[in-house]
Amino acid sequence: MRRNYPSSSRSIGLTLAVGFVFVLLAVIGGLGTAVMGQTATIILAALVLGFFGLFLPLTLFLPALLLVSFVLTGQMQYFARIDRALWLPFLVGALLMVRFPFDLMQRRLGHPEQASFAPASPAGVKVMLFVYFTTLLATSAINGIEPLQLLVSFKEYLFLWSLFLVISFGLLAPRHIERVWNLLPWLMLAQLPIVFYQRLIVVPSRAARGVGAEWDAVVGAFGGNPEGGGSSGAMGLFCVICIALVVARWRRGLLPGWQALVLGLSGFISIALAEIKFAVLLLPVALVALYFRQLTKKPLEGIFAILLAFIVSFSVLVAYKTQFALDGERQTVGEYFDSIVGSRSNEGDFVNYRTREMGRVAAIRFWWQQHGLDEPDKLLIGHGAGASRVGDLVVGDAARKWPFNIGRSTLAVMLWEVGLVGTVAFCSMLLFAFIRAFRFSGDERLSAQQQTLSASMAIAVLIVAAGIPYNTDVILSHQLQLMLMLSLGYLAMLNGQFSPRHALKPTQTAAPQTLPA
């Protein structure tokens, strides 16, 4: 049978067309950057990424999205001072959302035979996601949110969920998710030079000029402003998840001991130099979840691992006390721990009118004081997307009423914008996802690789949930959102193949099931 190959003239024409487009983009970008500055640079980058993204295979689109999110964006923001670079990962997610129905149609036309077990999210996850997004759309429509505010807010609420859709509809094979997930811990090692630069160069420079807090300058590759704050909290949560993944893979013999040691130390060093106390406190929690089954099967091994985690965390906190204590400040270790738990950020009435900062508890308490049964719609479904937002482009309707930032944490933002119904739905979704992933981590039908990823993704969901009352990273950090999307998508894959309704009878043997690549 003769194959129809494209003619050489057609290939040359396509090459010339592509070349002309890039030359045109270069000219527009050069002129625009000279006249408009970084705005034109971002527009150009978005155009180039969009052009490539439309034709890039999904198997390459996923690592490209992670490259933009975990590597490029943070450096553009931190070193090039391009704050609008934070839009790039969300715009790539929006592009994926646009091409998703076409990729889905192409897959179904090209592969009419479906896999034996198509991906399917657990019922509880699907119901809670439906309630959450229905509430978000309904409250935004009812409150008449302006288009610009809707666009700016939806970029964080919706755009990166396109990755979850692509995975949960089976457009990527499980092996692609497994490769990417297992690659993430190496980013801890890759960012170490940046962490050392920030701690040894940027921190002393800021201290000499009396600019900002020392610990807030260390953000790794996650981006920020050298003169101000950054995504240190997101970087810490990322390191906790990756350390748990490293330990899980080492336990199952999937990672050599020396690699586990190097990667684990990289994460510890990043957390320690950034003084992310919340991440240090979460490390034992992550390892307790990881070794929970060992407490019943091998109690001594489980207890030893948990005690070791607590000792390491205690040692890091003691090092913090020595490293970051203020001049002339003399505190015992017990007093230092009390200051962590009872810091002003956790007080129920803390408001700093100079910096517009509210305490975490104070923000929730204030929301409760401003809502009641006299306005049940605002209590139950909130004020709409972006209502609590304070930014250069948009200030939300609720936020502009008060001389302080009411969106202190993800929990506060959700309560203001999607109310009790949306907040409870989102948290319930995470709970259902954690329970299912944790069960899969001990399911003997799964391979060692699948069980390990299930365990680490269960911890990822747990850490994301723990970050909801801590700060706004869960809703604003594209890195944490991508890790959550990978976890929920992979859970849908496993649930479709190994859900209880597909459990094998004792006389049956499990045949390997594969999804289309």
User: What are the tens digits of pLDDT across the range 37-71?
Assistant: 555 556 666 666 667 777 788 888 899 899 999 99
User: What are the tens digits of pLDDT across the range 304-351?
Assistant: 777 877 787 777 777 666 665 544 455 555 555 555 555 555 555 667
Residue type, 418: V
- Which phi and psi angles does 351 have, rounded to 5°? -140, 125
Instruction: Examine the pLDDT at 294 and tell me if it is beyond 80.
Output: no
CA distances from 378 to 162, 192, 411 (A): 28, 45, 15
Residue type, 410: T
**pTM (2 d.p.):** 0.85
Is 218 within 8 Å of 459 (Cβ atoms)?
Answer: no
The 3-state DSSP class for residue 202 equals helix
CA 261 to chain centre: 24
Which H or E run contains 307?
A: helix 299-324
Is 239 within 8 Å of 279 (Cβ atoms)?
Answer: yes
Which H or E run contains 59?
A: helix 58-67
Is 500 within 8 Å of 122 (Cβ atoms)?
Answer: no
pLDDT at residue 465, rounded to an integer: 95
pLDDT grade for 511, boundaries at 50, 70 and 90: very low
Which H or E run contains 357?
A: strand 357-358
d(CA 438, CA 446): 13
CA distances from 21 to 16, 17, 35 (A): 9, 6, 21
Can you read off the two tokens belonging to residue 207? 């201290």
